[in-house]
Each structure stands twice: as structure tokens, then as C-alpha cells.
Structure 1
Amino acid sequence: MIERVKAFSQKHNLFTKNATILVGVSGGPDSMALLHYLSTIQAEWSLHMIAIAIDHQLRGEESKSDVHYVEETCKKWGVEFVGKQVDVDSFKKKSKLGTQAAARKLRYEYFAEQMETYNADLLALAHHGDDQVETMLMNFVRSSNPKALSGIPVKRPFAKGKIIRPFLCVTKLELEAYCKENGITPRIDPSNAKDVYTRNFVRKHILPLLKEKNSSIHITTQRLSESLQEDEQYLNQEAKKMFSHVAEIDQTKCEVLIDIPTYQSYPYALQRRTFHLILNYLYEEFPKNLSYVHEDQFFGLLENTSGNQKIDFPLHLKLEKSYRNLLFRFLEKQPLQSDFHMTLDVPGEIKLPNGATLSAIYTDNPSNHSIGTYICNADQVTLPLHIRTRKEGDRMRWKGLNGSKKIKDIFIDAKIPLEQRETWPLVEDNDGDILWLIGVKKGIPTKQMENNTYIQLHYDKGNA
């Protein structure tokens, strides 16, 4: 067993010379074997080792005695010791977590604190090969997320350093045998025999059946875990690149806008991961009721050929599809918008509610015919000009059009997002003649008169 653990540790570069290493120790056979094993290689690697034992106060004096046992053993073996009591019962009521989840959260929070206190490089935990099989089976039952299916990592970043698990290559039976060979009498947690916890059920009833078919299932599973984690790491890197290319982020509003055709040009595997990256970016805390159903809804929205569609996600996140764009936004974080009506003198300038500026001048030599500029003969319009949002029944006409067309239909043809139409500015003269649907369509005045003086309007988006 020792040679396998050494080879496994070397393969994954788990140890470094002169490292400060914390060891999570419960008093059970797995963690006591780990503490003993690390003490045997301490001199070889010049390790500064600190054992950490936590009393979750779930078994009264019994769990308190476990911590005392670890402390006494550390004194015998010359290992520095730190102990801590945490109130799991109170925390789980406050956080609305189950017993195991609450205990784990408090445990890892304390580990992180001690990593800071000791400026530690490593936190060694005693998860073994059977734990890996159990975890992957449990995740297979609970989740469709490939990351969850990849199981327990051998090494991962944590606090100021890394978590390492040197025993993922061996079984629980081997660790119990190791304890016996080295005169270690570990503490036994009676709760491990109860079927009320899913892990215990898998351990007692499912794992033995698998081992009947393959006694080395822990090795097979560990190789699968490492392969899945390597694949997942690569795909996540590619998904982050995709995210940076396809997602337009508005940090002030906590919004993400994607261009659908560009998004769909990437492989589906990256589309799925990028979808989750977007959600991770938007949600401060991931909703418990977010599931694969929402992923299906998202991809259904991408494929929907209708111009405008909306779906609701948990915690007031709304997905709004408008032609080739899809917007993720939180409803309560959206500023309230309303229609407006302003007048513009010539010459003159006004600031629009969206932050843009519209200016007007007289000129004998109009020089700019860009999308942000409108030019007409001064005698063709009646002043003042009115800048407003659309009204029911608004129509306009332009050169080459037989008759006039509804503003509503122009918006549809131009694929203007539905939520932008109610605040989109247009220009009309004092006779009610719509001259310009800004940035979309330039009309022609009803009056057909000409002189050498022109009115030139310029729309500057600024921060709009």
C-alpha cells in the first residue's frame, strides 16, 4: 500500500519540500492512517505538520472524546495539534442545510481559517478510493452535471494553498489493515452504520455488489475521475474563451447580452458550459431550484424562430430573446423607463432620457449623411421639432415607399428588441409629420419646398 501511495503522490506532485501541511483528523481509521503516514515522511520532505480535529457536537461526550484522542495521539507522535468545537445544530437551522452539509461547511471554514493562520501550503484529507466510488455513484443519481460526475479531485486550490488527497488510490480495508499493522486503535463513529445518510446506504448496499464484479473498482473509478476532470478542465478553459467572445456584459445593471447566431456557431459542449458560466456570473448564490429543466428552456429559446420570447428563471432572472439577441437580466435591477415628449429649437440641443444628445443647426452646406444625422430643407418642416416616443397608430413615409408604414411594423422589420421600442426616440415637426425614427428610418417631409437653407440634426449616443 505504501508504495502505491508514494507512486500516486509522485504522479500528482502532491508534496513539496519544506511545506506547511495541515491534516484533517477525525480519529477514525482513514484520518489516523493519514496522520501516521505523513508523520513517517515528515523528515524526508521537511514538512511542518499540524493536525486539526473538529468536534461537531453531534454525539455529545463521544465526539468530544474523539478530539481528545487525536490530541493525545499527536502528543505521542510529536505532531502539533489544533482542536475546535462547532455548533452544527444551530448552524443548520440558521442556514437551512442538512446535518452533513452544515457540518461540512463549518469544517471547511475552519480549515480555511487555519490555512491563513499558519500560512499553510497544503491541507491533507483522508478520502480514499471507496469514498471516490461512493461519491461518483451518489452524484450520478443526483446530478446531470459532468463536473459533479467527475468526483473528488486529487488536488485542488483551497484558501492560500491546496487540498491534497494521497489515499484516493487505496481502499478503506487497506487503511484499516494499515492501522492494525502500526498499532493504531482508531475511534469508530456509530453514525457511519446508519442507512439514513445516502452515502452510508451506497457504502453498505451498493459498493459491495460492485466489488463482487470488480474488486479493483476503486482504481477503475479513480482513472475515470481523473480523465473526466482533465476533460472538464480543458472544456472549461475553452468555454471561458467563448464567454469572452460572445457575452457583452453590463456590470452596472448586472446584465449579459449574447448574439444568438454567434453563440450557436460554437460546439454544443461549449454552449452548455458557457450557459453555466453566464449563470455563475449573474447569480451571487446559485438557486437550489435551478436545474437541467432551465438549461432545456434556454436552448429551446435559442432555437425558437419567433421574434420575441421571454422565460423566467429563479430569483427574478429573466431571459429575453429579441431576434438575434438574448438578454439575461434581473427585473428588480432594471431602471424604470417611461415615454417622453420634448421640443427642440433650431438651432438648439437637448439631452434625451437615455443619455444621448440631439442637436440641430441651420446650414447651407450639409456635409454629413451618416446614420446618426438627418437633413431636410428648412422650408419643408414646421418648427419647433418634437422629440418623443411612439404612439399608437404612428406612421411615416420615405422616398420610394408607396404610401406610409406603421412605426410598429418598421420596428419589427428592423428587428428592434421589444423592450427598447417604448423608449425609442423619433422626430416629428409641429404639424405632426414624422421625419426620423432615429437610427432606423429617415422619412421625407410632406411639404415639397426647397431653398438654400437646410436643417441638420445630429444624434450623439454618448453613454446611451
Structure 2
Amino acid sequence: MDKHLSKVKKFIADEELIKGDEIVLAGVSGGADSVCLFNMLCELSADLGFKLAVIHINHMIRQEAGEDAAFVEKLCEDNRISFFKKDIDIPGLSKTTDASEEELARNERYKAFEEVATMLSERYGKKVIIATAHNANDQAETMLHNLFRGSGIKGLSGIKVLSFRGDFELIRPLLVLERDEIEEYLTEKGLKWCTDKTNETDDYTRNRIRHNILPVAKEQINNGAIRHAAKAAEYISEVDDYIDEQADAVFFDIAAMSQGGIIINCESCAMQHKVVRSRILMKAIKFIVPHIKDIQSVHLSELDNMLQRTEGSESLSLPYGINATREYGDLILTLGDISPNEQEDADAEGFFIDKDHLEAGGDHVFNIPGLGKVNFKLFLYKSDMKIPTLEYTKWFDYDKISNSMQFRRRETGDVIEIGDGTKTLKKFMIDEKIPAKSREELFVLFDDKDVIWIPGYRISSKFKVDSDTARILEVKLISD
């Protein structure tokens, strides 16, 4: 067996990435890395007992993109591998959002991976794993990119060998190989690949690191610079996981959910190591606004200083309208101007949104525990309207909603529609690794037993806007 293939096979076994009797859906662009991934998985499929399928995404950015798709399709045809292609108009979509083409392409690419993976899982009744061709150079580039941007330890941990995307495991079997090793493998096998000309320019930050920093580090500092950087990212990832475990172990002894937010005992939290305190504070913030991206180390440092002071009361405003207040030995985090006592007269069993009231017109605002003020608005849909992509502004097809809606905690029998299938809400929360305590406290928007929206996570496919939509229900988190 080829030495590079043996290296990858051992890596897959050591990391337990493929266990057998699965379908591995590989993202293949036609570039050197993905052709290497494709060929290695073809060689390993019989030995490891999995079935291989391929998905190719045409982002419709480059003129030669059609040629790349044809190349990958022929590659699959020659090897009798199932091939799926998705055309996504990234330039067109970029006009409807503030996200960069690079970020938009990445998000849409993974959405397409999930769609095909869901279809394969339902068709064959097997576990589906998504594989991408990230390698050691990508790992080093990612770590340096995040370092230069001022990221903390989580950013420096780089690309995970195994992570989760929706319902699916996402594996990177080539992280053990450098790009030189990949090209050596392809050359020895006599394999061809496509060249993405955008990778040859310095238009993107990653390309500048790739072309101008890593080669110098390898040639003038240490020949193993890329390997060492990738190994450092792997080690930092392990440290990051350990910090998470330590924070999880004490979190609910230190912090408590309230109807208006979350309360942290300052004395108990201050006793923890500084890095654990920082992670506890970040977890508390994410209970209020999941997937928040704009909290920086300076914000966590200010919160840390607040909880360590022994006298007086003070307050601090954070991104997303989060308020932090220290009172009587407690650090209280709330959203907007909501205090922990504001919801005392609210119905603890749920918050009903009457469709008759919505149809009367205007804005309707509700104070929802753990979220804050949520605005409901009904209006007619026009085909030229741009569907928002913001985390906390969601549009739904109003006429698909059968009952008066309710924000409430989960109950037995609740389900969410994902793609063309359904999943129990309990299983979804477990798969998304939502902490057990948070699962009990999280308020979700329902139509009877059907999930409409899990704030901070996803909306149900059942209520999505489509070409037949006549009326839009906009649900928007507001901070004032």
C-alpha cells in the first residue's frame, strides 16, 4: 500500500472517523486535495466497509467551473461512484446579504452537503458521514489567520478532525497530509486535477498566508513548519476541549437560569481558574444568544473584572443588546432592558401568539425568557423581496401555520421537520449537543407539536418560504 495512503488509513483508524457500513459523502471540487481524497476513499472503501458517494458544488463564480463539474462527474463515472451536483448562484445570492462571497459560498456549500446526506440516509437507511479534503496546510493557514485576527484559544484550535454539521458527522481524513505529500501521491498515481485560478492570486487573506508566509517559514525557519503548526493546532484543540469539560463540570453549580436571563454567583465563579472563568462567562452569554460571534476577549475581561470586585453595583452593555449587571454578589446577564423580575407575571407554561391578533396588523411584541423582546409582524409576500439571513430575523410562510402559535419549553412528542423528514425535538437537541439543562429551559416557537423555530439553531423546513408563499410572518429579536 502507498505510504501516503497508509498514513491516512492509520489516521482514520486512530481518530475512529469511519467505523464501517456507512455512506461517506465526499465533497470533491476537482482540485488536487479533493481528487486525492476521492482516490484514497475509493481505495479504502472495500477494506473499511463503507460506500462512497460524491457531491460537487458549482458556485457559478468562475467561467471554468462547468469544466470542473464535468471533470468530477467523469471521475465518478469511471470509478462507478454515485455523483451529485449542486449549482448555487453565489454572485446572485451575495446581492441579497452583507456576507462576503467566501463566507456565503462556505455556508451554502455545507447546506447542500446536508441536503444530499439527508437524502442518502433516507434512501438507504444508513448513517452518512460527510468528508472534506482539508489538509495540514489548510490547518496551518487557518490557525495563523485566526492568530493574526486576534482569535482566542478556540480560533487557534483550527479545523477539527471530527465535527458536526446539523445531523451529520463531518470528517477531515487528509489533515494528516501536507499539500506536498498530496501532490506527490497524485503524481505517483498518474492522476490529474483541476486548478482553481483564484487560489493563485493574493485577493484573499488565506492566499496571502499560503503564498507569502508558509513558504518562507518552511524554507528559512524550519522545514517542518507546516507540520508543526498543524500539530500545534491539534494540541490546542485538545486543550480547548479540556477547558470546555472543566467549565461544563461546574457551570450549573455556579450559574442558574432565570426567566429574564442567567445569574452567576460571583464568589463561586471567581474561585475558578481564569481560563475556566472565561469559558463559563462565554457559555452564559451563549445561553442568552446562541452562536453569538461578536463577543471579544475585551468583553470577557470586563465581565471577569466585574465578578471579581467585592463591593458596589455596576452594569455593562455587550453586543446583541446583552446587559450585564452586578448586584449583591451576583452577575446577572439579560437581553435588552429585561431584568430577571420582569417576567414574574408571565405564563410559565408558555406564551401564546393569537393569529387573529396578528391578522389585525401592526407589530406584536412578546417578552420571551432567554430571548428577550420578540416582535411578530404579518405582511404580504412579493417575489422580489429578499429573505433575511440574519440569525435572529426569520421569515415563515404564515399560511402553513395551522394553529395559534406558542413559545414554550419542549414536551414529549414535539417534532421538527428537516429536509423531507422529521426528527423528534429531543433527538435534535441531543444531536446538536445542546446541554441538558438548556434543553429544559429553552423556549421554542411551536405550531401545536410542530417546531417552527429553535432560536439560535434552525427553523423547520415545514414553514419555509417558497414560490407559493402569499403571506410572510416575520419573527424578529429586538434589543429595545
Taking structure 2 as the reference length, the TM-score comes to 0.67
Structure 2 counterpart of 1:272, from 278, 281, 287 = 278
1:310 alignment partner, SS class: strand
Corresponding position of 1:232: 240
Contact 1:287 1:314 in 2 (8 A): no
2:334 alignment partner, SS class: strand
Contact 1:4 1:169 in 2 (8 A): yes
Structure 1 counterpart of 2:193, from 163, 186, 193 = 186
Worse overlay, 157-166 or 19-28: 157-166
Structure 2 counterpart of 1:243, from 251, 256, 278 = 251
Corresponding position of 1:69: 71
Superposed CA deviations along residues 326-377 of structure 1, whole A, max 9, x for unmatched, are 111123445997xxxxxxxxxxxxxx9899xxxxxxxxxxxxxxxxxxxxxx
1:285 Cα offset (Å) = 4.5
Corresponding position of 2:149: 142
Whole-Å separation in 1 of the counterparts to 2:265 and 2:340? 23
Alignment of 1:60-459 (within 5 A): 60=63, 62-119=64-121, 120-212=127-219, 213-250=221-258, 252-253=259-260, 255-288=261-294, 290-334=295-339
Whole-Å separation in 2 of the counterparts to 1:354 and 1:191? 55
Residue identity matched to 2:164: P
Whole-Å separation in 2 of the counterparts to 1:353 and 1:169? 57
1:172 Cα offset (Å) = 1.1
Rg larger for: 1
Whole-Å separation in 2 of the counterparts to 1:116 and 1:84? 15
Whole-Å separation in 2 of the counterparts to 1:217 and 1:335? 51
| Structure 1 pair 211–76 and aligned structure 2 pair: CA distance change class (3 A) | same
Residue identity matched to 2:67: S
Corresponding position of 2:44: 41
Superposed CA deviations along residues 111-169 of structure 1, whole A, max 9, x for unmatched, are 11222111243111111111111111111111331011011111223333321111111
1:39 alignment partner, SS class: helix
1:94 alignment partner, SS class: coil
Structure 1 residues not aligned, in runs of 5+: 338-351, 356-464
Superposed CA deviations along residues 30-50 of structure 1, whole A, max 9, x for unmatched, are 101110111111111222111
Whole-Å separation in 2 of the counterparts to 1:34 and 1:354? 55
Superposed CA deviations along residues 33-68 of structure 1, whole A, max 9, x for unmatched, are 1101111111112221111000001113x1122111
| Structure 1 pair 39–238 and aligned structure 2 pair: CA distance change class (3 A) | same
Supply the RMSD in Å over aligned alpha carbons. Answer: 2.1
1:304 Cα offset (Å) = 3.4
| Structure 1 pair 49–293 and aligned structure 2 pair: CA distance change class (3 A) | same
Residue identity matched to 1:161: F
Whole-Å separation in 1 of the counterparts to 2:157 and 2:345? 51
Structure 2 residues not aligned, in runs of 5+: 122-126, 348-480
1:185 Cα offset (Å) = 1.6
Superposed CA deviations along residues 282-328 of structure 1, whole A, max 9, x for unmatched, are 1145153x322211211222233441111111222111111311111
1:244 alignment partner, SS class: helix
Residue identity matched to 1:215: N
Whole-Å separation in 1 of the counterparts to 2:174 and 2:346? 60
Corresponding position of 1:25: 28
Corresponding position of 1:408: none
Residue identity matched to 1:63: A
1:21 alignment partner, SS class: strand
Contact 1:125 1:163 in 2 (8 A): yes
| Structure 1 pair 159–144 and aligned structure 2 pair: CA distance change class (3 A) | closer
| Structure 1 pair 246–284 and aligned structure 2 pair: CA distance change class (3 A) | same
Q: Give identity over the alignment, percent.
A: 27
Whole-Å separation in 1 of the counterparts to 2:151 and 2:207? 22
Residue identity matched to 1:243: F
Whole-Å separation in 2 of the counterparts to 1:36 and 1:191? 24
1:205 alignment partner, SS class: helix
Taking structure 1 as the reference length, the TM-score comes to 0.69
Residue identity matched to 2:194: R
| Structure 1 pair 304–185 and aligned structure 2 pair: CA distance change class (3 A) | same
Contact 2:132 2:171 in 1 (8 A): yes
1:202 alignment partner, SS class: helix
Superposed CA deviations along residues 183-206 of structure 1, whole A, max 9, x for unmatched, are 222110100011110110000000
Contact 1:312 1:319 in 2 (8 A): yes
| Structure 1 pair 285–216 and aligned structure 2 pair: CA distance change class (3 A) | closer
1:59 alignment partner, SS class: coil
